Amino acid sequence: VEVLASTLKAEFPNVYLVDLGDATYELSNVLVVATKQPTSLENLAANTELMTHPLLKQVAEASLDRATEFTT
């Protein structure tokens, strides 16, 4: 995950890691998201409140507490 995130960080202004792991499993999955324009997790939180599509809003809400910005 770190190698992929580092590669993306070289080309994109922001890279985020969303831990999709579950305490009941030994392995976890991490969703890596890169943005073309500068963003922040605060943007995601604000935009989540404005979402009208129920499934998209559910995914965004579930991601808020699991997302971290990759910085190195």
Residue 65: is its pLDDT beyond 80?
A: yes
Predicted local distance difference test score (pLDDT) of residue 69: 96
Over the stretch 17-56, which tens digit does the pLDDT of each residue have?
999 877 777 777 899 999 999 999 999 999 999 999 999 9
**Cα distance between residue 16 and residue 31, in whole Å:** 8
How many domains does the chain fold into? 1
Q: Which residue range(s) make up the domain with 44?
A: 2-70
Query: Whole-structure pTM over 0.85, yes or no?
Result: no
Q: Which residues touch 29 (CB under 8 Å, ≥6 apart)?
A: 20, 21
Q: Give the angle 59-21-51 at the CA atoms, nearest 5°.
A: 10
